[in-house]
Structure 1
């Protein structure tokens, strides 16, 4: 069965990367939630997609130059708060697995440390997490910190590149843009033993087309369509 993965929560229903969006995704019965992380100026991991706050909030500036208290003072889409990764883990609380995308520079170490804390102190499992990134150096860092954490290579350019990185990193999965998939590269990926989770699939005809292929998960803004 193809797994339902909420993109930044349930982005099509509630403002992305907010606790309310993650709750909506869980209410819609997702198997997994994809989210993005940056390190802010005071050192905490915050869940936010962009490198700057302008598009989604009433503030200005780069995420990594703002402290947690400054970020908490902003409003996402006029009403929501920027969550920390720890707050997000606490909300999701193993109700589904979590795909942590390492967005900002230097995110691998604190993300791996927080994942390890939840595994060692709170009874979570490695299967509760996937760590993905477009940035190979962050994935390499994650692997060197804790090779037990499951990695996924993100690609907007080619499945071949995602597979090349996956081989080098002993990754768990590849996360290509759905438009890159062909019967041949799906077969090549499966032959190597990797999972395939594709993004971001919102239209019914694309979902139906993909469900005919042997893939593992679909990341969507509208997980209720899956």
Structure 2
């Protein structure tokens, strides 16, 4: 298998190509976020990629959880970083999910994995099994009591799957994302061939509207609210040769705006709907 363009942010789109669709925490509109079912459903839809958040447990396992605490997305309580994986595996991580019509996701009662916490290793194994060039966006969550150990553990896991040496055919194409510039700089030192995404949210004082990014980073992840308010930011980054990812793109008018602006990636909770709009 051959690596693409020195593991750069490669996979450059041609002008006029549709933005790639990335499932935010899996198909999180129809399944509990960050569960294996959410990701396998997204694979079945034919998405271009998936996104996940990772946190370290007390015994240093990387798990796919967005919140600092377990309270919102499980039947337990407590700070993820203070709980061991065995304890997190005792919790139900899916029963909280109810669809708009008040029902549970289809087939929920027949899925033995539905309520289990998802480790990054298990997610990457599922991605590798797809044998596709799936864009795989992994966000490290900061601040955390473990600091740089998060990135060190992430690189260890990625190496187990051969995912630190650039994009390879029929394997996940990993991008590491963070709001923390320090975290991204740690990743650059540990795994320089893994492309980085600098996330920028509304109201961030460090936001630069001239399209500049820190040295060594050429992908920006923009809050969709920034794009709504100041669409010129997209052009500013494009003029500097940066790729532009936008999150979280759920509404039809935001999809249309991203297409008009020729963004590279739309990260969405509703991959089925967004793909239908693009078609």
Q: TM-score, normalised by structure 1?
A: 0.91
Q: 1:164 to 1:66 in 2, by over 3 A?
A: farther
Equivalent residues in 2 for 1:43-122, closer than 5 Å: 43-78=60-95, 79-93=114-128, 94-95=131-132, 96-104=134-142, 105=144, 106=147, 107-119=150-162
Instruction: Decide which structure has the larger Cα Rg and report it.
Output: 2
Query: Residue 42 of structure 1 corresponds to which residue in structure 2?
Result: 59
* Greater shift in the superposed pair: 99-108 or 57-66: 99-108
8 Å contact from structure 2 (residues 210, 236) kept in 1:
no
Render the CA deviation track for 1:45-103: whole Å, top value 9, x for unaligned. Answer: 11110000000101110000010111111111325111110000001115322100001
Residue 196 of structure 1 and its aligned partner are, at CA, apart by 0.6
Paired residue secondary structure (2:175): strand
Query: Residue 178 of structure 1 corresponds to which residue in structure 2?
Result: 224
Say whether residues 1:145 and 2:162 are aligned partners. Answer: no
8 Å contact from structure 2 (residues 74, 93) kept in 1:
yes
Paired residue secondary structure (2:161): helix
Query: Residue 155 of structure 1 corresponds to which residue in structure 2?
Result: 200
Render the CA deviation track for 1:151-177: whole Å, top value 9, x for unaligned. Answer: 001111369726899732411311111
* Greater shift in the superposed pair: 93-102 or 11-20: 93-102
Residue 147 of structure 1 and its aligned partner are, at CA, apart by 1.4
Residue 127 of structure 1 and its aligned partner are, at CA, apart by 6.7
Query: Structure 2 regions of 5+ residues with no counterpart?
Result: 1-17, 96-113, 275-279
Paired residue secondary structure (1:167): coil
Paired residue secondary structure (1:212): helix
Paired residue secondary structure (1:187): helix
In structure 1, which of residues 7, 13, 21 is the aligned counterpart of residue 30 of structure 2? 13
Query: Residue 132 of structure 1 corresponds to which residue in structure 2?
Result: 177
Equivalences, count: 226
Q: 1:14 to 1:145 in 2, by over 3 A?
A: same
In structure 1, which of residues 169, 190, 194 is the aligned counterpart of residue 242 of structure 2? 194
Residue 35 of structure 1 and its aligned partner are, at CA, apart by 0.4
Render the CA deviation track for 1:115-165: whole Å, top value 9, x for unaligned. Answer: 223127999739710000112221111111111111001111369726899
Q: 1:206 to 1:61 in 2, by over 3 A?
A: same
RMSD: 2.5
Q: TM-score, normalised by structure 2?
A: 0.75
Query: Structure 1 regions of 5+ residues with no counterpart?
Result: none
